[in-house]
Every structure is written in structure tokens, then in C-alpha cells.
Amino acid sequence: MNGRIPLRPLARVLDARRRGENPDAIERENLRIRHEQMRDKARVRAEGRLLVLGLVFFCAFVVIGLRMGMLAQSQAEEPRAAASGASIIASRADIVDRHGRVLATNMETHSLYAHPHQMIEPVRAADELMKIFPDLDHERLVKDFTNPKRKFMWVKKKISPEQMQAVHDIGEPGLLFGPREMRLYPNGKLASHILGGASFGREGVASAEVIGTAGIERYFDEELRDPARGGAPLELSIDLSVQAASERVLSSGMKLMNAKGAASVLLDVHTGEILSMVSLPDFDPNDRPNPPVSGRPSDSPLFNHAVQGVYELGSTFKIFAAAQALELGLVKPDTVIDTSPPFKVSGFRIGEFEGHNYGKQTVEGIIIHSSNRGTGKIALAIGPERQQQFLKSLGFFEPTGVEISEAQSGRPLLPKRWTDLSTVTISYGHGLSASPLHLAAGYAAIANGGHKIQPTLIKQDGPHYGPRVLSERNAASARHMLRAVVTEGTASFGDVPGYHVGGKTGTADKPKENGGGYYKDKTITTFATMFPAEAPRYVLIVTLDEPVETSGSRPRRTAGWTSVPVGAEMIGRIAPLLGLRPDYDVPEEEEVTLVRN
């Protein structure tokens, strides 16, 4: 069937016997022929294999030659060894301030893990580790180290070089180290709410993925881990020196005014850049605490009061009503409005702070004296629909959109029904809750000549103006009113020698947590300011949570006594850092008395 010739064919054997020949010769002859055929086939097969092998070697030498030629033509470069575990490690770009000073960088460190089945003295190892890492659970260590089924366990995800050497000295072969990269914040708590923090994602014994958990780190997580950046750092708008000075002043002011929390925002009114943003209490991103599992989120140091905290910002809103009325042509700065009682809206009596009666006042006087009734009458002339449109154009209806992950939770709280009463109360900062950053963006529109701006934490290359919301003339009139508030009105403690400051105070009773009205002895105080007042470059917002000034005979909780002095101290400290030269008012020549020594 397979075509092979039999060694002893019957016909030939019979024929050989008839002729008297030996049939075995036939078998030997056929066997010889078969062996020759097999040898010929093997030779052909071997020659084919040698040909294929020769072609493979020829191609390999061609490829190697071409590669050597390419390397000879390329520029010499030091080779880099491939890191173990490169499949999950990604170098994270640095974060720097506007002047290139490092805010976040990477540091090579090690992890500590154990192979309990390789340990010689597990109990002694646990005892020695407790001396190096007192925060470990000794009972748990002993249990894991002596468990015959346990093959692997983490001991510490990050250890210092000193701790690594101390573990080395234990001399236990079952304690092993793995290289990894960790995120380092060299300035500690400075700008902690902006940076947020980072942690490990996917982990292996030889490497670990560093991912952002909050703030800028989380918002730009993919960009910071993108190899296409080529190691280029992320440049923020923050000025490290200004941020440090702001935190120091605000922390001191918070303690001096006995406040439980505080926030400040410094904004460039032309570019929208945030030069400093502070929230207190703060934390160290190198050792970021765990989120709270009980109580109010705002009590946690992780809570960003400048962005997440939405508050009724009180009389700081009054300038918006005045500016809109000027824009609509309803009033002029010298238009007189009667602020005398009574003034009722929808059956509710609108009063003044401590029952004041300011009588007939100009629009500018209403802002200077911070009259609720005067502002409410201006707001009624504007009307609910137009008021909503104006506040929406300033950004008070949406989160600020600033580049930190927590920004989306800072959504303003708006009234369910925007009635005439809502229009009046919102005009003096009650009934609408927004963050200090919202307020900074709103004041920036007045300061820069009437353009909306988008707050940003990323360094810009020049002015970035949005749509116009006020005319230049009416924005200038509003700025003049804010300057008068400092020189003549409720923010008299806000005047800074050498720097002309304009601003507005805001004191709002703090609402109760269960929604049942307001506390009588707890306030949120705000000082919204811009400087230099004649041609503002910066807006500063300072907010204190439950401040109490106790130097007098009775406790004082208004912004004029709490937030304003803190804001003035901050401006005096940071203005020189911003390159602003003091401009002292020089008396007229005839007022100068010449004295001969």
C-alpha cells in the first residue's frame, strides 16, 4: 500500500529456486537498494535544512549589520538599564510654582515586605521591627510571621534609608526590600489643599504606581503620568512666597479672632490666576489623613473652605446690586434713596444692623454704611429676573471650575423660588450661598473694568478676559464706592499705609445644621477687597468661620472687627512680595513746615 518493495518477493524467490540460485541473495540486494534510497532521502532533507539554516544566519547578520550601521550614525548616549517592574511604574512629573520652585516631586525609597516561610527567627524579627516601627501591631506580626500558610505580606509600604539600614541589621533573610518611587512635598503643609496628595495605585514588590488622590494631583493625574511630557513640570499660578505669607497671616488671625476655620483667596484680576489660596485648618500631604467617617465634612482638615465651603457672604454682595443698577441706568452714584423704616417685602420687615436708621442716602452712601433697606430697594428696582441673569453672568450659579478635584462639590446654593423677598435678601448676601472663590471672581469683574474672568491655578501667559458684564465707567464707579467703604465706612480697619485699598465687609449669621434658622452668636465674616484701588491688579477675599474679637468690653463678631484687620495685615505683608511699591500721600507744599537744624 505504501509503495515499498518487499525484501523477499515470492515470484522472484520461486524463480531463483527453479534455477538453483540462493533466495537470500535477493533479500540482501533489496535491502541494499532500500538503504540507498533512505540515505538519498536523508541527504536531501539535510541539504534542505542546511540551506534554511544558512538563510537564517544570513538574515541575522544582515539585521545586525544594519543595526550597527544605524548606531554608528546616531549620537552617543549613555545606556539606561530597564527598571524592574516597568509595566506598572510611571514617573510622575514635578509640580512647580510660577517661579519654578518645587511644590511636589518624586523621591526614591523602598518598601519592606516579608516571606514568613523563609524566616529563621520570626518572633525575634517581630520584636526588632517593633523597635523600628512602633506603630505596627506586634501581636499581628507574630501571628503572620509564624503562620506556615503565609507566603507573603507587606510590612511597610514606605521606609526611610535609616529605617532600611536598621532592618538590615536585624539579619533576618525573610525580610526583603523593594524599590519604589514616592511623592514628596518638600514644603510640608504649604499649599496642601491645592496640591491635594498622592498615594499608591497598582503595587508590586519592585515598583508601585503613584496616583493623585485629591487637588491638583488628582485633577491632572493622567497628564502628570504621561511619558510624552518628557519630564516637563506642571507650572501653577501659585507664588510660593505669597502663599507662605498668606498662610502665616491667616493662621495668626484665625487664632487671634478665636475662629474655628478660615479661608483666603488672592486672584489676579486680569489673568484669573490664583496666586495664593489658603484653607485652615490644613494638613501635611506627605502624611494625608483619612477622610472623616462621622461628623460634618467641614470640620475635617481635608475640607477646602475656599472652594468647597459655600456660605452666605453677607454685605459683600451689596456692591453687585449697586453695580447692576448703575449698568441698567436705574440709579447714579449720587441718586438719593430713603432707607428709613418701615420697609416690608412679602410681609417680612427688612431691618438694619443693630436697628440703625440711615435715613436718606445716596447710592454711594448706602454702600458706605452698608444699608440693607437701601440695597433691598435697589434690588427691587432691578427685579428677580434681571438679578438672576447678572449673578449668573458672574458665575454664581455653577461651580468655579478651578483645576482641583474638589471644585465640583462647591456648587452655590440657590433659592428654590426666586421671589421678591429672595431678590431683596440676596442683594445683601442672604439666601444665596457661594464659596470665597466665587466671590473673588465676582469682584475681579469689577476690578478689571467689567470683564468676567475664569479663576485658574495654571500659570497664564497674559490677560484672559471673558464676556463683558459691566461697562468700564460703571465698574470704575463701583470701585470708587469700595474705596470709600475703607476710607469712610465699615472697613476703616482695612486701610493699609502705602497701598490704596477698596473693599466691602460682610457679616452673615451662621445657619444651623438642621436647617432650623440661624445662630445668634455664630457668624461667617468676610472682607472682599481689591488693590491698588484706582487700578486694581489683585482681589483678596478673607473669610473667618465663627470669629470672636474679645479685646473690648463685649465680644464682637462683625467683619469690621474680625476679617478686616486680618485682610489688612495680609495686604501689608504680601503687596511688597507682589512687586507693588507703596504710594504714600505727600501733603501739599504749603502744609510742609521747614525746620532748620
Angle, helix 420-427 to helix 384-393, in steps of 10 degrees: 40
CA distances from 204 to 110, 113, 152, 209, 226 (A): 12, 11, 12, 9, 20
Q: Omega before 281 cis (within 30°)?
A: yes
In words, the CATH class of domain 242-578 is alpha beta
Q: How far apart are CA 588 and CA 433, in angstroms?
A: 47
Buried b / exposed e over 93-116, threshold 16 CB at 10 Å, is: bbbbbbeeeebbeeeebbbbbbeb
- Delimiting residues of CATH 3.90.1310.10 domain(s) in the chain: 95-116+123-131+153-168+178-235
At 108, give phi and psi (nearest 5°).
-80, 130
Q: What is the pTM of this model?
A: 0.80
Please give the pLDDT value at position 543: 97
At 177, give phi and psi (nearest 5°).
-120, 145
Query: How confident is the chain (597 residues) per 10-residue block, as mean pLDDT?
Result: 63 72 73 80 86 89 85 52 44 93 92 91 94 93 91 89 93 90 92 93 74 94 89 95 97 96 97 97 93 83 95 95 97 94 91 89 95 96 96 96 93 94 95 96 97 97 95 96 95 92 93 78 94 94 94 89 96 95 64 48
How big is the CA angle at 347 (ends 343 and 353), to the nearest 5 degrees? 45
Nearest to 215 by CA among 234, 194, 198: 194
| Residue 91: active-site member | no
Quick check: helix, strand or coil at residue 571? helix
Q: How far apart are CA 288 and CA 301, in angstroms?
A: 10
Was domain 95-116+123-131+153-168+178-235 assigned CATH 3.90.1310.10? yes
Please give the pLDDT value at position 546: 93
Please give the pLDDT value at position 157: 85
Nearest to 511 by CA among 270, 236, 298: 298
Query: What is the arrangement of strands in the sheet containing 274-280, beginning at the earlier edge strand?
Result: 274-280, 261-268, 538-545, 518-531, 502-511
Please give the pLDDT value at position 76: 43
Quick check: helix, strand or coil at residue 213? strand
> Which candidate in 246, 315, 433, 563 is catalytic?
315
Q: How far apart are CA 39 and CA 574, in angstroms?
A: 97
Please give the pLDDT value at position 46: 86
By DSSP bridging, strand 518-531 and strand 234-235 are unpaired
Please give the pLDDT value at position 515: 64
Please give the pLDDT value at position 1: 45
DSSP label at residue 84: T
Q: How far apart are CA 37 and CA 495, in angstroms?
A: 114
At 59, give phi and psi (nearest 5°).
-65, -40
